[in-house]
């Protein structure tokens, strides 16, 4: 009996030891798997995943990184702002600047191996410009003959001047010369894709989507982690450095930073600014300028002191841009001394440069002198300054509020809101001033000025200037590119004289990456590009 018990105990001990060893082996295997994911792949935190892959109803820059890496259009915009061939290997522009003929690559293929044709582009433009498609960017293509009428349902697409001359030749005819037309087409929203239900339900149907870009979506985990694989049928696949890329979907800067520090991810954008020195000591980060600015917009829809131009100019004189950029933003932005960034292209192979409107430091005396011409009848005890609720925006608005109090003697109440509530406040006009983000959707100054047209859907602030509107139309129809730039400068001058907005600074995208990650870059529009990304672990 004792011998039997000893045998049983021995078997139990062997089993426990075996289980412990196996468990330890499994634990080690799990740890290796988890740690090798980021070491074997560039792992980039995209942030919140988009609702769909049509993406014509919003302008979230980071969400469009998916479009920029899985689909491709006729042309691309590189990191220097140069327009480069994409699915169109070449193009010809007529002498009068109104006729564009694109040669589609012979080796241009969908991810299933089928040929990409000129008719694919015809169908694509027909779908995105359809009146039933929620497309906030459609006005950009009103330069194409027939688009505006088609969008309004006045004609069918046969009357739109986007036609396939043959299988590999696409022709687009414009209403007027538009030397920034290729800049418009270089946006990720014009990357070729089949506009269908698969793009809407992409998290379920990603395997059946046909991709036209450098990567395909290979897997989406339950946690929202996306695995991209190199598109084996992509025309430029030889230049794509990585066979696989991982995209995580951590929604906050703080969670992305924690994942970066624990090496769950190895690339993310826009870290908490207070942590930059910490990151710099253990990894690297680089800063790329965006076609995007921040400014203080005034509510011109209602009467009051904010509707007084002299008051707005007094506020402008009271702002210390140097303090905001250096001490609040840790020098990760560029002070804006004009409305349009000086690195914006002029469509003439140069940069758009207008005169300097503002200074870096505050001028309290100038602000106080300007206030002398402001009527004392307004009687506002305080003003409401609203902002999108971030740490940096809060500090910026509080600094501006203190400057206004010092210069003009009016208290400013600063209120931060999450995105949907902030937009609701703007639409309802429940504010006096608002810190807003404004941007050029493509690399040309007209894109920045567009939002201040009286009829613009982005003009939520009540600015109305008939002369400004007329000059906008004159600029669009001006055949001479140099003369058009002069008109655009006149428009910016008018905007700065009327001052519906005070520019503060121009944004940068900050890319944080481990030292062994190479090849990450942004295009001129600010999208993260992953085709050249790879790991250098040696």
What pLDDT is recorded for position 37?
Answer: 54
Higher local confidence (pLDDT), 175 or 379? 175
What pLDDT is recorded for position 379?
Answer: 74
The pTM (predicted TM-score) of the whole model is 0.89
Query: Is residue 513 included in any domain, yes or no?
Result: no
Task: Evaluate whether 534 touches 324 at the Cβ level (below 8 Å).
Answer: no
Note whether 345 and 481 are same-domain residues. Answer: yes
pLDDT value at 109 more than 70: yes
Note whether 147 and 21 are same-domain residues. Answer: no
Encode pLDDT of 186-238 as tens digits: 999 999 999 999 999 999 999 999 999 999 999 999 999 999 999 999 999 99
Query: Is residue 259 included in any domain, yes or no?
Result: yes
Percent of the chain with pLDDT over 90: 82
Query: Is residue 446 included in any domain, yes or no?
Result: yes
Note whether 33 and 46 are same-domain residues. Answer: no
What is the average pLDDT across 408-421?
Answer: 94
What pLDDT is recorded for position 408?
Answer: 86
Query: Is residue 299 included in any domain, yes or no?
Result: yes
Note whether 31 and 45 are same-domain residues. Answer: no
H or E segment to which residue 488 belongs? helix 481-498
What pLDDT is recorded for position 301?
Answer: 94
Query: Is residue 339 included in any domain, yes or no?
Result: yes
What pLDDT is recorded for position 4?
Answer: 36
Encode pLDDT of 252-291 as tens digits: 999 999 999 999 999 999 999 888 888 877 788 888 999 9
Query: Is residue 81 included in any domain, yes or no?
Result: yes
What pLDDT is recorded for position 189?
Answer: 98
Note whether 260 and 394 are same-domain residues. Answer: no
Confidence of residue 19 (pLDDT cuts 50, 70, 90): very low
Note whether 26 and 128 are same-domain residues. Answer: no
Among the residue ranges 28-32, 167-171, 205-209, 224-228, the one predicted with the least confidence is 28-32
Which domain does 419 fall in, by range? 293-508
Note whether 204 and 224 are same-domain residues. Answer: yes
Of 16-20, 153-157, 273-277, the range with the highest mean pLDDT is 153-157
What pLDDT is recorded for position 38?
Answer: 59
pLDDT value at 26 more than 60: no
Note whether 56 and 25 are same-domain residues. Answer: no
Sign of CA dihedral 242, 244, 250, 251: positive
Note whether 353 and 253 are same-domain residues. Answer: no
Encode pLDDT of 63-80 as tens digits: 999 999 999 999 999 888
Query: Is residue 280 included in any domain, yes or no?
Result: no
What pLDDT is recorded for position 6?
Answer: 38
Task: Evaluate whether 298 touches 316 at the Cβ level (below 8 Å).
Answer: no
What pLDDT is recorded for position 32?
Answer: 28
Which CATH number characterizes residue 325's domain? 3.10.105.10
Query: Is residue 288 included in any domain, yes or no?
Result: no
Which CATH number characterizes residue 262's domain? 3.40.190.10
Of 4-13, 276-285, 509-518, the range with the highest mean pLDDT is 509-518
Note whether 358 and 419 are same-domain residues. Answer: yes
What is the average pLDDT across 330-350?
Answer: 94
Note whether 310 and 453 are same-domain residues. Answer: yes
DSSP string, 181-207: HHHHHTSGGGS----SHHHHTHHHHGG
pLDDT value at 16 more than 50: no
Burial class (CB in 10 A: 0-12, 13-18, 19+), 105: middle
Note whether 71 and 179 are same-domain residues. Answer: yes
Q: How far is CA 448 from CA 79, 195, 327, 451, 462, in A?
A: 19, 28, 27, 7, 17
Cα–Cα distance for residue pair 114/285, rounded to 1 Å:
40
Encode pLDDT of 345-367 as tens digits: 999 989 999 999 999 999 999 99
Q: H helices of 265-386, where?
A: 276-282, 309-318, 321-323, 364-371
Cα–Cα distance for residue pair 376/389, rounded to 1 Å:
33
Per the structure, how many domains does the chain have?
Answer: 3
Encode pLDDT of 288-324 as tens digits: 999 999 999 999 998 899 999 999 999 999 999 999 9
């Amino acid at each position: 009996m004792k011998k039997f018990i000893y045998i049983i105990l021995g078997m139990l001990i062997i089993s426990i030891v075996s289980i412990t060893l196996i468990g330890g082996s499994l634990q080690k295997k799990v740890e290796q798997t988890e740690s090798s994911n980021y070491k074997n792949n560039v792992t980039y935190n995209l942030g919140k995943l988009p609702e769909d892959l049509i993406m014509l109803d919003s302008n979230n820059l980071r969400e469009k990184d998916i479009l920029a890496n899985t689909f491709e259009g006729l042309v691309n915009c590189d990191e220097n702002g140069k327009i480069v061939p994409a699915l169109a290997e070449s193009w010809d522009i007529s002498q009068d600047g109104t006729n564009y003929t694109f040669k589609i690559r012979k080796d241009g293929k969908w991810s299933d191996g089928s040929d990409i044709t000129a008719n694919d582009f015809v169908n694509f433009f027909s779908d995105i410009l359809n009146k039933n498609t929620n497309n906030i960017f459609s006005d950009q293509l009103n330069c194409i003959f027939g688009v505006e009428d088609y969008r309004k349902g006045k004609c069918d697409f046969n009357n739109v001047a986007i036609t396939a001359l043959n299988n590999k030749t696409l022709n687009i005819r414009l209403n007027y010369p538009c030397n920034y037309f290729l800049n418009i087409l270089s946006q990720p929203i014009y990357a070729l894709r089949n506009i269908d239900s698969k793009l809407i339900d992409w998290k379920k149907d990603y395997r059946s989507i046909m991709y036209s870009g450098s990567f395909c979506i290979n897997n989406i985990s339950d946690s929202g982690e996306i695995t991209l694989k190199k598109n084996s049928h992509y025309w430029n696949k030889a230049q794509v450095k990585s066979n696989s890329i991982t995209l995580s979907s951590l929604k906050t800067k703080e969670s992305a930073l924690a994942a970066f520090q624990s090496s769950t991810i190895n690339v993310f954008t826009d870290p908490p600014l207070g942590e930059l020195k910490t990151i710099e000591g253990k990894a690297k980060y680089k800063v790329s300028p965006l076609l995007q600015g921040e400014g203080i917009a005034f509510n011109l829809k209602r009467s009051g002191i904010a509707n007084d131009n002299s008051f707005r100019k007094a506020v402008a004189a009271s702002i210390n841009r140097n303090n905001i950029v250096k001490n609040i933003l840790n020098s990760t932005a560029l002070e804006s001394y004009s409305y349009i960034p000086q690195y914006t292209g002029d469509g003439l192979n140069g940069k758009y440069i207008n005169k300097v409107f503002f200074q870096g430091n505050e001028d309290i005396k100038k602000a106080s002198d300007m206030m002398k011409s402001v009527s004392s009848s307004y009687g506002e005890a305080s003003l409401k300054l609203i902002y999108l609720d971030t740490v940096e925006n809060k500090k910026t608005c509080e600094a501006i509020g203190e400057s206004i109090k010092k210069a003009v003697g009016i208290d400013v109440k600063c209120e931060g809101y999450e995105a949907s509530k902030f937009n609701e406040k703007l639409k309802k006009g429940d504010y006096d001033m608002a810190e807003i983000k404004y941007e050029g959707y493509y690399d040309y100054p007209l894109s920045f000025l567009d939002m201040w047209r009286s009829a613009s859907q982005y003009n939520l602030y009540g600015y109305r200037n008939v002369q400004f509107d007329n000059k906008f139309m004159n600029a669009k129809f001006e055949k001479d590119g140099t003369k058009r730039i002069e008109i655009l400068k006149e428009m910016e001058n008018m905007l700065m004289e009327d001052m519906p907005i005070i520019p503060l600074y121009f944004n940068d995208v900050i890319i944080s990456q481990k030292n062994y990650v190479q090849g990450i870059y942004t295009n001129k529009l600010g999208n993260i590009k992953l085709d050249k990304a790879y790991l250098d672990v040696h």
